[in-house]
Every structure is written in structure tokens, then in C-alpha cells.
Amino acid sequence: MAQNTRTVPAGTPTNVTQKHTKGGIGESTLRPDGTLKVTGEFAYSSDMWHEDMLWGQTLRSTVAHAEIVSIDISEALALPGVYSVLTYDDLPAEMKNYGLEIQDTPVLANGRVRHHGEPVALVAADHPETARRAAAKIKIDYRELPLVTDEASALAPGAPLIHEGRDDHHIGHVPHPNIVHRQPIIRGNVEEARKRADVIVEGEYTFGMQDQAFLGPESGLAVPSEDGGVELYVATQWLHSDLKQIAPVLGLPEEKVRMTLSGVGGAFGGREDISMQIHACLLALATNKPVKIVYNRFESFFGHVHRHPAKLYYEHGATKDGKLTHMKCKIVLDGGAYASASPAVVGNASSLSVGPYVLEDVDIEAIALYTNNPPCGAMRGFGAVQACFAYEAQMDKLAAKLGMDPVEFRQLNAMEMGTVMPTGQVVDSPAPVAELLRRVKSRPLPPERQWESAGEGADVRALPGGLSNTTHGEGVVRGVGYAVGIKNVGFSEGFDDYSTARVRLEVINGEPVAMVHTAMAEVGQGGITVHAQIARTELGVTQVTIHPADTQVGSAGSTSASRQTYMTGGAVKNTCEAVREALLEIGRRKNGSYHPAWATAELLLEGGKIVTDGGEVLADIAEILGDEAIDLELEYRHHPTVPFDLVTGQGNGHVQYTFAAHRAVVEVDTELGLVKVVELATAQDVGKALNMLSVVGQIQGGTTQGLGVAIMEEIIVDPKTAKVRNPSFTDYLIPTILDTPTIPVDVLELADPKAPYGLRGMGEAPTLSSTPAVLAAIRQATGLEINKTPIRPEALTGTL
Amino acid sequence: MRVNFTVNGRQQEADDVWEGESLLYVLRERMGLPGSKNACEQGECGSCTVRLDGVPVCSCLVAAGQVEGRDVVTVEGLAEFSKQREQHGHGGACGAGGGCGGKGGVTLDAAKQWQAKPAGDSQTGEGVELSTIQQAFIDAGAVQCGFCTPGLLVQADALLEENSSPSDQDIREALSGNLCRCTGYEKILDAVRLAAARQGEAV
């Protein structure tokens, strides 16, 4: 495919800065897939269709922890229209597990299920309803086992081990085999520092299990190919990571599993793990027919990992003049039955547990448990969200105890460039924490009790209860709350995090056209929009084609960790620079003798021409290129990181830090416990906004997911059975347009000199501080101490 | 069973429909119109919203047999529906709805090609005629992953048909049955305001 593959290290100095090109970076260009998406033509993974296609169905466990005594598939196989029924015994390869970091997840249950909804058998049939009915005819005899559901039951003497005989690389340092990973961070001397504290606050906080609730359910189409391999069209966040997990369990070499990204209906971390990919391939290979699997919403709640629920125990001290003295915390994340991304979530939760504050004396411990609860892994914010909810509650408690303004207290302790993190890592680029708080605070507040001044014109829909018409203002009180958070960008702790971009420049119909080919998963975030912008800026062309994302090009890494514009955007920039240099080389060879500037001047590409930095046109790109095509595929890496020390937690583990602040204004109907978030103002530093329209859209979307987990979103797992009680959009609520307030956004652009264009990864930070800001506002409105999220009406009215 | 109904102005006939199939299933899997999305199958998310005899409904909650002899407009027919309305003062009968007549879904060839269109396409709108609300969704940045977009477009178009200058609270009420997980709704509000303003200018 690519004519030339080589590695160029990140940060290769580029000696030219391309000038502005129409449709280049910094402009709010529109999505290249916008027209297809508004006309219904955009092909999502659930829209795929193939002649002779079968429908796949997963049968999932109805209990959380059990031995499988027997499976009887005979009735299912006998149903007309059923082509195949597969169980563990049918798996074709020696490798029968998969997993992001630890391969502990069975493709199909092997004699034991460890959580409610674990896949046990697969059916392929000619109609989805036939497949569903056949799955229902499979008889499974379970012998239930004792449950592990929390820290106490996981670590109790004689507790059942969720995974026996662990041989992963964390088992050597965890205190118990039901702990996936443990990361302590010790810096300074907490015992000494505590003596300096005039006030000490302690808190115990509970964070509920949040679902990504992307709207496009897990789905895809597997097509067997003539060479015995398979083509897979699927919605995912990282094609190459899927590939690495899929090929071994199919018993196929990676080159025989050809993956193409189909339309992705949102992700938010929920597509980082495998869902239906392997199952569809297995059924396609078993039947030699194309097989489509589409989860319904019920199954989707079992089909992907969730955000870790957590217990967080914090102690902070401060002097009477408002300076933090020390922090001690323990964060217990429930990883559920399989590891997924738990180890990395632990690393984030511990290393970011201090928040965006200066604290030199800390004693931190974060662990993730193995339990029989649903597996948890990646979701937007990734470990930093749970910590932010807790440390921001602590900041408010400290400020109250000191009689200080909560914003001024935060500003007094805010980190800045040069601050040393608890890991010993120096924050080496702008960290405008105090400024972000100043910006949200200085915004005028929405008018109070507007229903009184508006009289007859009062719109009841803007009040708590909304369309339910439950109040006209009586019993309604207002509160205002603030929060700020810190998130890392990119994959940390020594992970070899790279992205690949292929760029082809050629002349089509007399015009230079750039084609950008990456494996980046466009999940809605707008990565493809900025890739085209980058190519226009770097190559001075108007026309850019985005090649479909597939595994025919090198890995682009995951669309997660706020990393894609930095990493794959950086890769596109890097490859474009190499293409530009190759073009100029051809120009020097062909035309160098005609004009001395070819050798002496800095040359730029602008408006389809090669020009000197003084603006003199030397040639048309099309003329220089002629019939030649420049086609390069290069890898791009951020600066290296190191793992955190397993005892002290020290190490330059993170790539870049990113910050956002929120001010929430809420109105609470204290009689019914109904909350209306009136406004959720936010400020964020993005380094450089490559596309402001997309940046603001990300901030508003992330903010709303944070609002959701503050007041409504939680997967309820019955502690007695470890079964999920609300796997539907009727029972798991996400914010509607009526629940969502206006979200004014203030964007700062303080460049990080290490990053492409100075940009700062920005997709996750707004999800952090949104939740604690809303909760702080509710606390202020009601005077209640709220230590759990989400906060429900029954808790606000004291009826719980 | 056999079901006869009009989709985007064209008479359609679906054979061998199982009694339990929804209108959404028939549109997506039998009519080649996968634009209406299935995100919850219980009427909570609005992603499958279509017009049934002019009324916005969740097509996942309508049994296929219930649409016998009736008129359905999906997102695929929205541009034409809107054009007819402008020309004749009403929607309903329209010509090309796109996609009708195929067996179902999007073929692989079509799916592979989706990104191969020129990147500037949605900015120029070249070759594609869009309704005011569709163009406004693109221009305002109301589309991210786009899965909720078809349902929102059908619902928002119906709102603007009824109320040419809705207040923000009117917009929120009208769209409260349509979930979006990406945008935080701000840019969807922007899009509806923009479409209302553009329609106002055009009159």
C-alpha cells in the first residue's frame, strides 16, 4: 500500500510554518460526513447488509457467578432457520480469551460465568427473531457460587477467587488475587505535614456505575473470505487493538482478518473493548456466510464495560490562611469480573487523585477489585472523574471550615506551570487553573427567581419538574457551585503510544489532491474534519480526500484518552511535512536551475503553489508533481513516559495535562427533590483550537455527561445477586434536552510547545468538573451533605 | 403477511412480514431505508422518528401491520418532503425518497465508499439537495456521531412546520423525546434556531 514506510520521531523540527490556507487549521470547517449523516445515508455498523446474510445472537448468563453444569443446544439447533449454535467447545484455536491488557476474558464461558450477562453461546439464523428464539431454547444448568460484590467480600478470608492461577504482571505486587492492580503514591511526609494543619476534613464518597450510553448499539458484519480469512466491518475505537485480540482466538494470522471501520454511533470508552467482533467472525467462519450482529439496548448494557463505581476515602488538611498541608486518600474501584482497562484506570485515579492543586505531602493508594459485578473499564475521564468528584467535595468542605470563598480557596492552592505532581512529574506547560476558575466566576449569573418577575409570562418548563408542571416556584431554592479538574492526555506509564498516517499527494484533473489514510476511529468527535484541515494547511491544497479507516494502514491508536487530535493529527501533520519535503525535492531537481530561490529561500505551499517565504511564486504544485504521486506512511510518537514506581508511585508517567472548570447554577424543588440545572458555564484551555466549532461541541457534550452522573445516571446492581436491574433507557436515564441547561463556553488557547500546533487534548476534561460543580450547587441550595453521586430525589427530600 | 404503504411518496409493498415486525424493522431491513435508527426499541430515544400520516412517531413502536394503506416519511425523504411543502404548502406526496426498492440496509460497496466523497462535500452541499433543517444541523455543528440526527431532524422539521418561530422552551419541549449523547444539545438548539431564522427570511 504505502510506497515508503519509515519512522520519524515525534518533535522532528519543522523549519517552516505554513501560512493560512482556506479550510486549514483554526477554521471551523464543517464535517465531511455531515451531508451523509443528515440524509440518513451514512452507513453505521448496524446498517450493513449483505446478500445471504445471517443474524447472530448471543446468549448471556442469567446469573452472576455460577458453574455451568451442562449446556443443551439441541432444541435450538432443531429450529428451522438456524444455521449454527456455538459454545466454548467449538472455539477453533488454542487461545480462547481476549483482553486489552490482561487476556482474562473468555470469548464464550468456559464452565463458569463470573458476571450477569456473560456470553455463553452464539446462534446464527436467517431472521433476527429466529436467532433470538433459538438462543432462548438453549438450556443451561447453572450451579450458583458465592458472590464477591465489594471490597469486604473480595478480601474476606476464604473469599472466592474471581480468577484462579493468575499469571499477569500485576499479580506479583497486589496484596490479594482479587485485586487487579494497586498503585500507591507516597511523596513528602503526611504525618509531619498534618501537624501544620489548622483544619482537617475527612470524607467518604461513593461514585455510581455510569454507562457510556452511546446511541448506536454494538454491531457489525463479518464476511468470510475465499482465503479462509474474514472481513469485519465494525464500530470500534481502535481497529488494531481489536485485531490483535480477534486473530488469535480465530486461529488466523492478522493479515487474514481484514477490518474496516464502519459508521460509529458514539463511543465514550465503551467501544475500547471487544464486544461482538469475535462472535460475528466465529459464526461467519462456522457457517461460511456473512453474519451480522446488532445488539439491542438491553444487550448493549451487558455488551460493554462501564465506568468504575468507586469508594473514595479522603483526608485533607489546611492552615488557617488557606494553604493545603497534606492529603491522604484511598480509592477503591470496582473493576467487575474482568480486567479490561482497570490497571490503567488505577494509574490515572492515583496519579490524578490530588487534583489540580499544589500538595507536597501525600499518601495515596488506588486499587481495582475483581468482583462478580459487571466488568468496568474505559469511559471518558478514565479514573480522573471519580477522583475529581471527591477532591472537589473536599475543597468545598475545607473552604467552609476555614470560612473562605470556595473559589478563592481553590485559586490559592491552584497548580501552575512548574508545579510538581505527586508522582514527581513537573507540569511543563501552561496550567491556568486559577484563571479558568476566575473566568467561570466572573460570568454574570442568570437572573434569580425569574418566575416571579415574569408573572404570567413565566415558563414552567424552565423550572424543576419541567413539563410535569410540578411547581410554579414554591419550594424552589437556588445554589451555585464550582469545580475544576485535571486530566492526562494520551496513553501513559511507558505505553508505546503511536499513530500512523499515510498521505498521498497527486494531481487529479489538473488539481493537486491530498489523500489522508489513517486507521483512526471517527466516532463522532470530528477527527476526520481536522485531518483534512491539517492536510490543507501543511500542503497548501484545497482538495483533501479522507480514505476509509482500515487495517491496511498502520495503527492510529485508540480514539480515547483525549489523544486523537494530538496523536493522529500529529501523525497527519508529520507525514504531510515529509510529503512537502519530497515535493520540494522534486521541484529542486526539475526547476532548481531556473531560479536561485529554490536553493536559498524557505519554501511554502500555498493555494496550490510553491512560494518563497517572501511570497514569490516559483511553480504550481501540479506542474512540479506531473504524473508522479508522493505516497508516504509514517509513524508518530509523543515524548516517552515511564511506569509509576510500584512502591512510591514516582515517575514521569503522563504525556500532557489538561484542565477545565465549571460553575453550576441549579434550582432545587426541595419538596419533591427535583433538580433543574439552570446553567453550566465552563472554561477550558485547549492549547490551540484546530476547529472551534468541534471543540465547543466536545466541551458541551462532555459537560452534559458529567451532569448526567451528578443527578440521574447509574447502573443499579443488586448487591444480593450482582444482577443489573435497569438495563434500558426507561430505567437508566441520560439527560434529555429538557434536563440540559445552556452551557456557555470560554476557550483559552495557551500553547503547549511540545504538542502539534501547541494543542492540548480536550475531549475528556469537561466531563470531570461538571459533576462536582452540579453537586456543589445542590449542596449550597439544600444545605445537605452529599457524598454520593448520582443524587436522587429521594435523597434530597430525606425520604431515603 | 403483506403490507402496502407509501414511503417518501412511493407506493411500497413488503412481503413475508412477520406479525411481530415493527415499522422500523420493515423500513430498515426490507425497504432499504436504514436512515431511521434503532437505539432503544422502546420509544425512549426518538432515533427512529418518522412521520406517519404527518404525525411524528417512534417507528419502533408501530407494528408493521398498522401502517397498511398509510403514508410514511423518513429522513431519506425529508428534503423532498420539505421541498414539496414549500412549493405546495403541504408535505405528503413526494417523489424520489432514495433507497426505496432495495432489499435492505447499505451494501458493502456503498458502505466502503462513504468517506471517499470529497471532504468539502458537506460545505458546498454539492449535488445534494437538503432541507433547511438538514443544512442547519450541518452548519451549526449539531451533528457529531449522527446516530440521533435522523430522528431529531424529522421531529424538528415537524416542530417548524407547526411553529415557525419557536421559543427555546418550545424547542426543548418538542425535542424532549429525542436523546443525544454527544452534543449536550446546545448546537441542536442553535440548529433549530438557525433553521427557523432562515425559513423566516425565505418567506
Domain range list for chain B: 1-203
Q: Identify the architecture of domain B1-203 in CATH.
A: Orthogonal Bundle (1.10)
- CATH of residue A229's domain is 3.90.1170.50
According to the model, what pLDDT value does residue A450 have?
83
| Residue whose grid cell is 443528515 | A38
Of A29, A693, A737, the CB nearest to B172: A737
Please check whether residues A632 and A663 belong to one and the same domain.
Answer: no
Assess: ipTM above 0.90: yes
- Do the Cβ atoms of A199 and A327 come closer than 8 Å? no
Please check whether residues A684 and A771 belong to one and the same domain.
Answer: yes
Is A178 domain-assigned? no
Is A733 domain-assigned? yes
Report the alpha-carbon distance of residue A115 to residue A64 in Å, rounded: 4
Q: Best of B48, B78, B108, B129 to disrupt the A interface by mutation (most A CBs within 10 Å)?
A: B108
Does A543 contact B119 at a Cβ distance shorter than 8 Å?
A: yes
Beta-bridge partners for A71: A140
Q: How distant, in Å, are the alpha carbons of A109, A329, B78 from that of A39?
A: 41, 51, 8
A589's CB contacts (< 8 A; 6+ apart) are: none
Please check whether residues A568 and A609 belong to one and the same domain.
Answer: yes
Q: Is A551 left (phi over 0), alpha (psi -120 to 50) or beta?
A: alpha
Please check whether residues A619 and A541 belong to one and the same domain.
Answer: yes
Does B42 contact A730 at a Cβ distance shorter than 8 Å?
A: yes
Report the alpha-carbon distance of residue A52 to residue A43 in Å, rounded: 19
The dihedral over CA atoms of A274, A277, A280, A283, expressed in degrees to the nearest 10, equals -70
Does B75 contact A43 at a Cβ distance shorter than 8 Å?
A: no
Secondary structure percentages of chain B, helix, strand, coil, to 5: 45, 10, 45
Gyration radius (Cα) of chain A, Å: 27
Query: Nearest CA to A356 among A660, A760, A686?
Result: A660
The last residue of a domain, from among A236, A270, A294: A294
Of B119, B144, B146, the CB nearest to A532: B119
- Contact residues on chain B for A734, CB-CB shorter than 8 A: 179, 181
Please check whether residues A471 and A534 belong to one and the same domain.
Answer: no
Q: What is the DSSP letter of B32?
A: S
- Do the Cβ atoms of B60 and B42 come closer than 8 Å? yes
Report the alpha-carbon distance of residue A335 to residue A339 in Å, rounded: 6
**CA angle at residue A386 from A242 to A409, to 5 degrees?**
140
Tell me: pLDDT of B117 over 50. Answer: no
Per-chain mean pLDDT for chain B = 86
- CATH of residue A18's domain is 3.30.365.10
A408's CB contacts (< 8 A; 6+ apart) are: A322, A399
Range of the domain at A272: 45-145+225-294
**CA angle at residue B14 from B10 to B17, to 5 degrees?**
150
Q: How distant, in Å, are the alpha carbons of A66, B84, B171, B192, B202 from that of B198?
A: 61, 17, 16, 10, 6
Does B119 contact A697 at a Cβ distance shorter than 8 Å?
A: no
Chain A from 295 to 314: CB within 8 A of any B CB: 296-297
At position A370, the amino acid (one-letter code) is Y
Report the alpha-carbon distance of residue B152 to residue B35 in Å, rounded: 12
Please check whether residues A674 and A532 belong to one and the same domain.
Answer: no
**10-residue averages of pLDDT along chain A (800 residues):** 40 59 94 97 96 97 98 98 98 98 98 98 97 98 98 98 97 98 98 98 98 98 98 98 98 98 98 98 98 98 98 98 98 98 98 98 98 98 98 98 98 98 98 98 94 78 90 94 98 97 97 98 98 98 97 98 98 98 96 93 95 95 97 97 98 98 97 97 98 98 98 98 98 97 98 97 98 98 96 84
According to the model, what pLDDT value does residue B121 have?
43
The last residue of a domain, from among A260, A294, A328: A294
Is A363 domain-assigned? no
Does B141 contact A215 at a Cβ distance shorter than 8 Å?
A: no
Please check whether residues A689 and A765 belong to one and the same domain.
Answer: yes
- Contact residues on chain A for B47, CB-CB shorter than 8 A: 215
According to the model, what pLDDT value does residue A74 have?
98
Distance from CA of B88 to the nearest CA of A (A): 22
Q: Looking at the 3D structure of chain A, how many domains does it have? A: 3
- Do the Cβ atoms of A624 and A610 come closer than 8 Å? yes
- Contact residues on chain A for B83, CB-CB shorter than 8 A: none
Q: Which three cell numbers stand for residue A469?
A: 408542571
Is A353 domain-assigned? no
Is A729 part of the contact surface with chain B (CB cutoff 8 Å)?
yes
Please check whether residues A609 and A755 belong to one and the same domain.
Answer: no
Does A260 contact B38 at a Cβ distance shorter than 8 Å?
A: no
Please check whether residues A791 and A686 belong to one and the same domain.
Answer: yes
**CA angle at residue A698 from A273 to A755, to 5 degrees?**
85
Is A261 domain-assigned? yes
- Do the Cβ atoms of A65 and A145 come closer than 8 Å? yes
Is A578 domain-assigned? yes
Instruction: For residue B153, give the chain A residue with the closest CA.
Output: A38
- Contact residues on chain A for B169, CB-CB shorter than 8 A: 459, 461-462
Is A266 part of the contact surface with chain B (CB cutoff 8 Å)?
yes
Please check whether residues A630 and A531 belong to one and the same domain.
Answer: yes
Report the alpha-carbon distance of residue A9 to residue A17 in Å, rounded: 19
- Contact residues on chain A for B119, CB-CB shorter than 8 A: 32, 528, 532, 543-546
Distance from CA of B144 to the nearest CA of A (A): 4
Is A682 domain-assigned? yes
The last residue of a domain, from among A294, A316, A331: A294
Report the alpha-carbon distance of residue B8 to residue A344 in Å, rounded: 50
Please check whether residues A626 and A744 belong to one and the same domain.
Answer: no
- Contact residues on chain B for A223, CB-CB shorter than 8 A: 108
- Do the Cβ atoms of A471 and A591 come closer than 8 Å? no
According to the model, what pLDDT value does residue B109 have?
60
Helix (H) or strand (E) holding A434: helix A433-442
- Contact residues on chain B for A23, CB-CB shorter than 8 A: 120, 123
- Contact residues on chain A for B98, CB-CB shorter than 8 A: 39-41
Of B111, B144, B187, the CB nearest to A233: B111
What spatial distance separates the first Cα and last Cα of chain B, rounded to whole Å? 46
- Do the Cβ atoms of A207 and A772 come closer than 8 Å? no
A252's CB contacts (< 8 A; 6+ apart) are: A228, A229, A230
- Do the Cβ atoms of A331 and A349 come closer than 8 Å? yes
Is A257 domain-assigned? yes
- Contact residues on chain B for A462, CB-CB shorter than 8 A: 169
Please check whether residues A562 and A677 belong to one and the same domain.
Answer: no
